[in-house]
Structure 1
Amino acid sequence: MLAGTPPYLASATFSCAAVLLYLVRRHGPYPADGPLEVAARYEAIDGLGPAVRDIVMSALSPDPRRRAPLAIVRELLETTLRR
């Protein structure tokens, strides 16, 4: 069960999307060049179908306010993957 205030939930959304991406690509959403490079780079995701990629990219938004709640991300992924 997830609990917390919206900023913490946005972090949970990002973390879950990053783990999903790691499972598919064997590395996280950003290259491991260093913290400044990671902060400046938003790499396109390959290895996922377009619908799943769009959901994951939205969950990885650098702006926590733009991330969908984790429950919505989960619902979108479940619906998309059932097709």
Structure 2
Amino acid sequence: MREVPAGCVVRVNRSGLTEERYWQLHVAEHTDSLDDTVRTVRELLASVVEQQMVVPGAWTASAPARSATPTCPSPRATTAVQH
């Protein structure tokens, strides 16, 4: 037994075992300024969070209906919440 390297998948079938790399980190010099880097990371993070948010006011329900919980809308997704 041995550890499968990061970014690899191991397949076992009647013909034997194969290991295939599906991802590899490519290293390059970082040329952006600190301000550009901060702005890019913030934009990427905001985009990912926004994609994970559910429509404001919507409810999600897991297996038992009694465990329904309200979602938490992204501040960018709404201008005002009416109650």
TM over 0.5: no
Larger Rg: 2
TM tier, shorter chain?
under 0.3
Which TM-score applies when normalising by structure 2? 0.25
Between Structure 1 and Structure 2, the one with more strand by share is 2
